[in-house]
Amino acid sequence: MLDRSATTRDGGIAVLDPRGTPPKVTGKDAAPRLDSLNDKLVYLIDSRFDDSIELLKQIQLWFAEQMPSVRTKLVQLASTYAKDDPELWEEIRDQGHAAIIGVGHCSTCAPAVSTHAVTLETKYGVPTVAVHTEKFVRVVRSVTRMAGLPQAPLVFVPQPVMGKTPAELADYVKGDDPVTGNGVMREIVDGLTKALPQPDASQIGAPAIERTRVISAESEAAVQELFRSNHWTDQLPIVPPTEERVAEMLAGTSRKPDEIVGRMQPTKNRGLWSYTVENVAVNAVMAGATPEYFPVILAQAAASYSARSSSSSSAATMSIVNGPIRKEIGMNCGLGALGPYNHANTTIGRAYSLLSQNLQGGSVPGESYMGSLGNNYLYTGLTFAENEERSPWEPLHVQKGYKPEQSTVSIFWGCRSNTNNLGLREKHWREHIGHMLRGTDAITAPVLVLDPIVARQFVSRGGFAKKQDLIDWLHETARMKASEYWDLQLVQNYIYPLATFGDAPFAERLAEGDDAMINMFRKEEITVVVVGGETNGYWQIYGARPQATVLIDDWR
């Protein structure tokens, strides 16, 4: 039932705006364009993602056939697409005349490709064209706006690039841009040689939003429709965030309403939006949380890690709560803890998802969310408390260096792979676990979610009296033949580039040869947590990498 204080003089309803504050962006100047590409050296920069280099090879062949006076040099970034490469930028500035970088064809590599292009333009004075697939047109246009260079040249080819034959990629290059209808190579040449349009102030930074603290609507139904149509909800009904309800939520913390809690963005290079304690409270109300839960939600928000990341892999988050607050607010760590049977678990998880969506500048498919499949965990995340009382080992937060009497929330990213098992068989349990581990997403890490029955089996049958002993064994058991490991597409995209430039421990793995059995995961990222009601010895392994552990007590 809506509180009476929400009613306006004309019988409408007043609620608070759930959005965060965009960053301030200053416009930048592009590099001067070339008069011509004749006798010029053009660098072709491979972003090292999913066969990008194969399309760049076809661009290089096109120049050799159609504009032979243009010299080209094909190079690769020194690491993954996510990292800046100032040594390469300096080489291009000193030895080259222009650059073409690509291909942006995922939710994180596309923003990175355009960010590198803007860097070359604005910091090194190199005219640059960024090549992307057409699925990411809205994404990269928002990136160049937030980078202060909305006029940065963008050229698009069809999706996908990965797995295409040279002939198919040649057709992309010789064909038309599916976004503009103009020839791909004509756009690339023009992007390097023709003057760029000058943007006005309205085109720089985040699109202008009409943001007022209080929003009026005709009725509660109108509030629901307003929030839904503006992509401020998860498409489920919300609790209208009236001033009275938000004030009640704020009573759950000693922090001031206008205090900045953190900054968040759906993926790197999109611009960090900031948000206050009150902004978080608005979203907590919308999720149906209570003031007693608010310190947990604030701690999640303080991690500045989005539960609505834009990864095209459709990743989600897992939040594990430890310490006395579990009992204080009635979180479930036993029967049905992973949901949907507990109000605290469910609404805390939903609040984290909603605040991530609204306080980072949105989560709109095709614009700021690019998960190809989507993920049902995005509604509430996997949010639960550890069953510390029934665990044979120290709880997760103690393992991470906190005291038993402290309360924490640990956030993990991934939840794209999941294997399930029942108990530990006497004869082949080691082999069974090995198979499960090898089925875990190789660029995250295994999180073992164990019913207490199974946790005790790991002690009695495996001899793992200490949790660290089990983690050590898991690290050594999670091994794969090197040639198979390096052939995994995600490993090629994210780990192989690190290995080739000497980053530990990946470089050591690469040096061991194709037939070596190598460790799949970093030991420090393997997690074991005990939860469940002991109705049976079921347990699961999730692929999820630890991101942050935040002290909830700081937000009481």
Amino acid at 239: V
Span 484-493, pLDDT tens digits: 999 999 999 8
Percent of the chain with pLDDT over 70: 98
Q: Confidence class of residue 5 from pLDDT cuts 50, 70 and 90?
A: low
In the predicted model, what is the mean pLDDT of residues 132-137?
97
- Mean pLDDT value across residues 119-143: 97
State yes or no: pLDDT of 275 exceeds 60: yes
Higher pLDDT among residues 268 and 280, named by residue: 280
Neighbours of 64 (CB within 10 A): 12
Q: What is the b/e burial string over 529-550, where b = at least 16 CB atoms within 10 angstroms of the residue's CB?
A: bbbbbeeebebbbbbbbbebbb
Give the pLDDT band of residue 211 (cuts 50, 70, 90): confident
d(CA 426, CA 23): 58
pLDDT in tens, 12-60: 899 999 999 999 999 999 999 999 999 999 999 999 999 999 999 999 9
Q: Is the pLDDT of residue 10 over 70?
A: no
Residue 495 has pLDDT above 80, yes or no: yes
DSSP H helix total and E strand total for the chain: 20, 17
62 half-sphere exposure, CB direction, 13 A CA radius: 23
List the alpha helices (DSSP H) in 52-136: 52-66, 86-95, 109-124
pLDDT tens-place string over residues 404-437: 999 999 999 999 999 999 999 999 999 999 999 9
Please, what sign has the CA dihedral across residues 283, 288, 292, 296? negative
Query: Could you report the per-residue pLDDT of 518-549, keeping only the tens digit for each?
Result: 999 999 999 999 999 999 999 999 999 999 99
Could you tell me the two tokens for 549? 């552990």
Is it the case that residue 223 has pLDDT exceeding 70? yes
pLDDT in tens, 502-521: 888 888 888 888 999 999 99
pLDDT bucket at 451, cuts 50 / 70 / 90: very high
Q: What kind and span of H or E run contains 103?
A: strand 98-104
Phi and psi torsions of 463, nearest 5°: 80, 20
- Taking 80 as the threshold, does the pLDDT of residue 494 lie above it? yes
With a cut of 60, say whether residue 226 has pLDDT above it.
yes
Contact present, 90 and 124 (Cβ < 8 Å): yes
- N-terminal to C-terminal alpha carbon distance within the chain: 28
Give residue-wise pLDDT tens across range 167-178.
999 999 999 999
Q: Is the dihedral of CA 145, 147, 153, 155 positive or negative?
A: negative
CA–CA gap between residue 554 and residue 556 (Å, rounded) = 6
Whether the link from the prior residue into 447 is cis, omega within 30° of 0, is no
Average pLDDT value for residue range 125-148: 96
| Domains of the chain from N-terminus onward | 41-203 (3.40.50.2300), 214-416+547-555 (no CATH)
Element (H, E) at 17: none
pLDDT of amino acid 1: 44
The predicted structure's pLDDT at residue 8: 63
Report how far apart, in Å, the C-alpha atoms of 107 and of each of 238, 372, 485 are.
28, 10, 24
Percent of all residues in the chain with a pLDDT value above 90, rounded to a whole number = 90
> What residues form DSSP beta bridges with 129?
100
- Phi and psi at residue 190, to the nearest 5°: -65, -35
pLDDT tens digit sequence for 330-389: 999 999 999 899 999 999 999 999 999 999 999 999 989 999 999 999 999 999 999 999
What φ, ψ does residue 438 adopt, rounded to 5°?
-70, -15
Alpha-carbon gap, residue 84 to 88, rounded angstroms = 9
Distance CA 442, CA 539 (A): 20
Q: Is the pLDDT of residue 9 over 70?
A: no
| HEC-encoded secondary structure of 463-484 | CCCCHHHHHHHHHHHCEEEHHH
**Residue 504, pLDDT score:** 82
252 to each of 26, 249, 292, how far by Cα in Å? 38, 6, 6
Neighbours of 271 (CB within 10 A): 21
Alpha-helical runs (H) found in 125-208: 137-146, 166-174, 184-193
pLDDT for position 7: 65
For residues 133 and 104, is the Cβ–Cβ distance under 8 A? Answer: yes
